[in-house]
Amino acid sequence: MKTSDFYYDLPKELIAQDPLPNRDMSRLMVIDRASDRLEHKIFKDVIDYLDPGDCLVINNTKVIPARLIGTKEETGAKVEILLLKRREGDIWETLVRPGKKLRPGARVTFGDGRLKAEILDVVEDGNRLVKFYYDGIFEEVLDALGEMPLPPYITHELKDKNMYQTVYAKFEGSAAAPTAGLHFTEELLQEIKDKGITIASVTLHVGLGTFRPVKVEDVTKHHMHVEYYNVTEEAAKQINDTKKNGGRVVCVGTTSCRTVESASGDDGIIRAESGETGIFIYPGYRFKIMDALITNFHLPESTLLMLVSAYAGREKMLNAYKVAVEEKYRFFSFGDACLLYDSGERNNKN
């Protein structure tokens, strides 16, 4: 299996630069893996494909304003530090630009000295370990000085930080949003509950490893970076009860998918646990928990396109993306959504 097998041509103008004002009014492509049928809907129509007894799994991680712009103390050069993961206390693993200017021992100042940083070490992939110095509470300082870490393909300024946050975001720790969840409103979630669908919350703090390009041609040689996840006792029970009672587990986003698949065994039972996962899902993978997936349109040759291909099939997904380009769907983080499901499985359970 080659990385180039997952390439498709995307016109630049289809990359969404701004979120829609009404979250649930994006377009929704419904892809049935049991047939060749593609349907074109509005996102809030997703409720029509959810049945009483199903379980919707959402990722309640919260994006931190992880992008810091500062100056190198010795030279005054402008530098950028992106927080990836807290290692311990005030020491974070970060991505820095430009890397050549920030070797161990370098010091950086942000916001007129309200926050300072020292580069401690260079680790895997050129990331830096950075120690921060400040007065008060770090999260409050970060909220005042940091910017939302939008992906590099988004060049427009985000006017409202909350639009890069799900309405159910709760636990801070992500360097990127679980973007499939951006389409849900509180009203739509209430309608889903009222229909008899369980909503289970899990946590996966999204790191940049999810979005790093695959640099090897042999897919199996790609190394995924680890991300923290947590499945509570309540969520595990909700998901296990759904499976036991014949309902479907519908994951909102690839992060929710990777969380439930990481916390489950070959027996098809999910366990309450927390830890780090580097799970890499590509064609040939057998899903243990997930029955259907709500997700956005992903980058060519990305691990996320490989994941959706593992569920629905590579040729079917590449054809769907070809249609999405022809129909001028909006792509990537602020773009439109897909629902991947199996009509045969749905009919059998009803």
Q: Across residues 135-145, what is the average pLDDT?
A: 94
- Give me the pLDDT at residue 124, please: 77
* Joined tokens for residue 183: 């389409």
Residue-wise pLDDT tens digits, 285-316: 999 999 999 999 999 999 999 999 999 999 99
Report the candidate in 46, 19, 13, 14 with the shortest Cα–Cα distance to residue 31: 46
Q: State phi, psi for 265 to the nearest 5 degrees.
A: -105, 180
Q: Does residue 259 have a pLDDT over 90?
A: yes
Whether the per-residue pLDDT at 347 is higher than 90: the answer is: no
What single-letter DSSP state applies at residue 47? G
Q: Do the strands 91-97 and 78-88 form a parallel or antiparallel pair, or are they unpaired? A: antiparallel
Instruction: Look at residue 59 in the predicted model and tell me its pLDDT.
Output: 98
Pairing between strand 67-72 and 55-59?
Answer: unpaired
pLDDT digits (tens, 9 = 90+) for 20-75: 999 999 999 999 999 989 999 999 999 999 999 999 999 999 999 999 999 999 89
Residue 333: other Cβ atoms inside 10 A: 21
Q: How many CB atoms lie within 10 A of CB 272?
A: 14
pLDDT in tens, 72-81: 998 999 999 9
pLDDT score of 321: 98
Q: CA of 277: how far to CAs of 175, 192, 226, 248, in Å?
A: 16, 29, 5, 24
77-81, 177-181, 277-281, 345-349: which range is least confident on average? 345-349
